[in-house]
Structure 1
């Protein structure tokens, strides 16, 4: 099996689309934010799924950026680094939610509740240490990085521009969750998922198109070079 740049880029497109699909799927019938749910299988499965989503998103946006480095210029580099950092910090948070919080639910319920509430954008009652800083940095990188990365994608005019616009708007819009009821948390994640799917599919289709172009050109050359009888 030959590993090619085109193949890796197509895989990145599929990774981004899959990440978007998981992002939407985990929002369906999501239970309320409550520490006592952390001990259930549903909590663990959803948290592991979110961890997988973060990993796929990092791979996806990396491929998206590398496929159009020249067109995205310095703005794209800044947007990519900040946006990827947001997902990179989100990854261990979700892994911790799946692997550590269930075991602490009975022994330290107050701490668990504060972590879950803070992760959802609320305010903790007790002290959760440096995790508060981690959550703040994650949110800032996610929103600012998504905005800048989406703008750079739109200006590059390579992939679907509607998806680039949706990416910028959906990531910035999450800032409003600090003032909206908890019922808005899940619906607000759907546009981001759709944006990732759109960008991933657009990248995959672009690479498929570039794969067919050389073949068509070669066939055309063969026809022209054929001797006349």
Structure 2
């Protein structure tokens, strides 16, 4: 396993994450108690979990490929985005395995958990979990903006993709007044940005390999 192979794996992960992040928005069922026990919910939750894992691998590879040029800005942006994907993994685990089990016995609790992200809000009974939604939003916005700007400045991967990531991360704030079913499509630019960053990382890794001189054989 060479560094080029690892970067290509990260590039593929970023493309998968971006494609899933965008595609899921078109098939996501309504975020309500009635849907959490359906097959569509289970499918989307599983795809979201794969997206989050792939996103974590992808942004890690992207950061390591440009670590020398992205500086402190890139480090902070990477850390925030990585935490966002980790938080998404944890929440999706709850969506997939816990909420369907509780839907009939504790529908109010399930509705409150869904309200953390679907715009309906909660009744204040979730305690520290109430911070989950705002925390995720801050990680997504700040991480996307900082990492996107750092990628744009570094110039190792496609600058347009870095810029699109930075701009796309802000869109949920601008579309917050829209219904959740419509506002979720603000994720499309970020998905496209991850695909672009992944494709350009693959190209950068291939270019790096082609420029590496062969090791002379010794007797």
User: Shorter chain as normaliser: what TM range?
Assistant: over 0.9
1:128 to 126, 129, 152: 126
How far off is 1:94 after superposition? Answer: 0.9
Determine helix, strand or coil for the equivalent of 1:107. coil
2:80 to 54, 79, 82: 82
Once the two structures are superposed, residues 154-208 of structure 1 have per-residue CA deviations (whole angstroms, 9 ceiling, x without a partner) of 1111111111011011111112343222232332111111010000010001111
Alignment partner of 1:68 is 2:66: yes
Structure 2 alignment gaps of length 5 or more: 215-219
Length, aligned pairs only? 214
Aligned to 1:137: 135
Once the two structures are superposed, residues 114-169 of structure 1 have per-residue CA deviations (whole angstroms, 9 ceiling, x without a partner) of 11122223311351222211222111111111111101111111111111011011
Contact preservation (8 Å) 1:121, 1:177: no
Aligned to 1:212: 210
Determine helix, strand or coil for the equivalent of 2:31. coil
Aligned to 1:222: none
Structure 1 vs Structure 2 CA RMSD: 1.5
Contact preservation (8 Å) 2:27, 2:44: no
TM normalised by structure 2 equals: 0.92
TM normalised by structure 1 equals: 0.88
| Equivalences for residues 106-125 of structure 1 within 5 A | 106-125=104-123
Alignment partner of 1:174 is 2:172: yes
For residues 13 and 163 of structure 2, the distance between their equivalents in structure 1, rounded to whole angstroms, comes to: 20
| Structure 1: 4+ residue segments shifted above 4 A | none
Contact preservation (8 Å) 1:83, 1:141: yes
Contact preservation (8 Å) 1:87, 1:138: no
Determine helix, strand or coil for the equivalent of 2:26. coil
| Equivalences for residues 1-229 of structure 1 within 5 A | 3-214=1-212
Once the two structures are superposed, residues 68-91 of structure 1 have per-residue CA deviations (whole angstroms, 9 ceiling, x without a partner) of 111001111111111211111111
How far off is 1:209 after superposition? Answer: 2.0
For residues 205 and 62 of structure 2, the distance between their equivalents in structure 1, rounded to whole angstroms, comes to: 11
For residues 200 and 99 of structure 1, the distance between their equivalents in structure 2, rounded to whole angstroms, comes to: 31
Aligned to 2:217: none
Contact preservation (8 Å) 1:76, 1:152: yes
For residues 184 and 139 of structure 1, the distance between their equivalents in structure 2, rounded to whole angstroms, comes to: 17
Determine helix, strand or coil for the equivalent of 2:75. helix
